[in-house]
Amino acid sequence: MSKVGKNIAFLRKRNNLTQGQLAKDLDIPRSTLSGYEQAYAEPGVEALIKLAAVFDVPIDELLTRELWEGEQQSFRGEKMKVLAISVDREEKANIELVEAKAEAGYTGSFDDPAYIKNLPKIFMPVLSEGTFRAFEIRGDSMLPMNESDIVSCSYVEKLSDVKDGKTYVVVTKDEGIVYKRLWKNPKTQRMLLLSDNELFAPFEMDYSAIAELWVYKAHISFREPGEMAGDLLDSRLESLNRDVKEIKKFVESVND
């Protein structure tokens, strides 16, 4: 079976279509479609255009990508695309680990199955069913989560699944990878990203800038809980001191 034939068969099955149903959509005989899938025949330009439209996949991906190789549907804004994953010997999805030092590589290659296959893997028994990925935390914007902690997340297939106030790993090609609380604004088509550490100002991002979203499920920390509580208290005290200084400046300006 040729690459394009395997892709057609994979996409047809993923969309729960029979050969008869897809052949009808393409306005071709079922035997012709079977020939494509079995590599007895190659689809012409017109057939490729129709296939790309039916499956919402670029023609070059039909011809050059191995879409069936360890991949699932993905999301960019509200539009679905292909998510690269890797599987273990039992055909279950691995939990790939994206280390902080690998962030630049990931944001440029998150849709490349070969790159994803070579990422380190971790195992968490509590996360057994679903599509998960783990990300190493950078900085202290999400205290009590600390730098180098590992957040394991479940894949978010579409924007409408985002729950306001929940924490997510947001992957973008331009801004990198961040872990924040999210709030949607359907009217402006922008997402509000908020840090739990009040020292970090919230900011907004266009829906269209988001390449992947992963919702928090579990995390691994390498610090003793008492230390984390102390860091959080220090952060809140620092924030309180900052607010007091701002109030003092305001009062002084009013009295001048």
Mean pLDDT of the chain: 80
Check pLDDT > 50 for residue 106: yes
On whether the CB atoms of residues 86 and 93 are closer than 8 A, the answer is yes
Q: How far apart are CA 227 and CA 221, in angstroms?
A: 11
- Of 242, 110, 92, 101, the closest CA to residue 173 belongs to 110
Check pLDDT > 50 for residue 158: yes
Give start and end residues of each alpha helix (H) in 65-196: 103-109, 113-117
Q: What is the pTM of this model?
A: 0.59
Check pLDDT > 50 for residue 130: yes
Q: How confident is the model at residue 72 (pLDDT cuts 50, 70, 90)?
A: very low
- Which tokens in the block code for residue 236? 């809140």
Establish whether the linkage from the previous residue to 144 is cis, with ω within 30° of 0: yes
- Of 223, 148, 212, 135, the closest CA to residue 179 belongs to 135
Q: What is the pLDDT of residue 228?
A: 53
DSSP string, 95-124: EEEE-GGGHHHHHHHTT-HHHHHTS-EE--
Q: For residue 240, what are the CA distances in angstroms to 145, 197, 206, 217, 232?
A: 20, 12, 31, 30, 12
Q: What is the pLDDT of residue 169?
A: 96
Q: How far apart are CA 194 and CA 167, in angstroms?
A: 9
- The pLDDT tens digits of the residues spanning 186-231 come to 888 899 999 988 888 999 999 888 989 999 999 888 766 656 555 5
CATH numbers and ranges of domains, the chain:
3-68 (1.10.260.40), 82-220 (2.10.109.10)
Q: What is the pLDDT of residue 19?
A: 87
Check pLDDT > 70 for residue 151: yes
Q: How confident is the model at residue 69 (pLDDT cuts 50, 70, 90)?
A: low
Q: Lowest-pLDDT range, 43-52, 208-217, 233-242?
A: 233-242
Identify each DSSP E strand in the chain by its residue range.
71-76, 79-84, 95-98, 121-122, 132-136, 150-155, 167-172, 176-185, 190-194, 203-206, 212-220
Q: How far apart are CA 81 and CA 162, in angstroms?
A: 17
Mean pLDDT of 53-66: 84
